[in-house]
Structure 1
Amino acid sequence: MKLEKAIAVCRALPGATEDIKWGADLVFSVGEKMFAVTGNCADAEGISFKVDDERFLELTDRPGIIAAPYLARAKWVKIVDFKAVSDAEAAELLTRSHAIIFGKLTKKLQREIGEK
């Protein structure tokens, strides 16, 4: 996976917004709720995102993927070695992260995002 492609996937998801938080982290959100976080530079240390509870242990058992610092209790993982996943798998995981967070939004907010 290449970080640039992961960022492009996040930007293309419905209702996705991005901003800088904590000084230097690029945060992707939907309905003002985070679904992915990465460093804001070419040498970023990885990308973190939400996964389904049942996939958390499976993914963190793989080399190059760790429990995301500060967010592991919420079942977030961090890809620290960009060779750990293919571009296609990364796109699938990021799209699923967006879907998980989108599903937790109010129905009204989901409709508003869907209409845009």
Structure 2
Amino acid sequence: MTIEDLQTLCRQLPGVTEDIKWDHHLCFNVGGKMFLITSPDEVPPTASFKATPAQFTELLEQPGFAPASHLARYHWLHLDDIGRLSPQRWQQLIRESYRLVVEKLPLKLRKQLAADGAPIQ
């Protein structure tokens, strides 16, 4: 997996924007809220994302995962090498992180994203 692969997965989701935060983190957002943070300049590239409480606990037991700095209380995980996961697993985790963030957005924005095909429950 590369940062470009993650970009491709994120860009498939409705309403996604990208920006650079903290000088060198490529962040993917929906409704102005982050759902994936990457560090493309690190070797190997790293990433952080939001998870459900159950996923958070489960993934912490796997190699390379740690609670994300400053965001762990919101069930964000940090992965030390994006290459540890398959494209299919990344797609699942990105979609879940996106969904969790969308659930917290204002109703009007959630409806607009749903109309655009967002995977929202």
TM-score (norm 1): 0.89
Give the deviation of 1:64 after TM superposition: 1.4
Structure 2 counterpart of 1:79: 79
Which residue in 1 is equivalent to 2:48? 48
Structure 1 residue 44: Cα displacement? 5.5
| d(CA) in 1 for partners of 2:65, 2:100 | 19
Q: Does 1:14 align with 2:14?
A: yes
Structure 1: how far apart are the matches of 2:45 and 2:66? 12
Per-residue Cα deviation, 1:50-79 (whole angstroms, up to 9, x for no partner): 001111011011001111111111100111
Letter in 2 for 1:7: Q
Find the counterpart in structure 1 of residue 119 from structure 2: none
What residue number does 1:67 align with?
67
Uncovered stretches (5+) of structure 2, i.e. residues with no partner: 117-121
Structure 2: which amino acid aligns with 1:69?
S
| Number of matched pairs | 116
Percent identity, aligned pairs only, is: 36
Contact 1:10–1:28 (CA<8 Å) still a contact in 2?
Answer: yes
Secondary structure class of the residue paired with 1:41: coil
Change (3 A) 1:100 1:29: same
Alignment correspondent of 1:57 = 57
Deviates more, 1:37-46 or 1:23-32: 37-46
Shift of 1:113: 2.9
CA contact (8 A) 2:102 2:110 kept: yes
Give 5+ residue unaligned stretches, structure 1: none
- Partner of 1:95 in structure 2? 95
- Distance in structure 1 (CA, Å) of the matches to 2:11 and 2:60: 25
The amino acid that maps onto 2:96 is: R
Contact between 1:29 and 1:36, CA under 8 Å: does it hold in 2?
Answer: yes
Query: Residue type matched to 1:101 in 2?
Result: V
Contact 1:65 1:84 in 2 (8 A): no
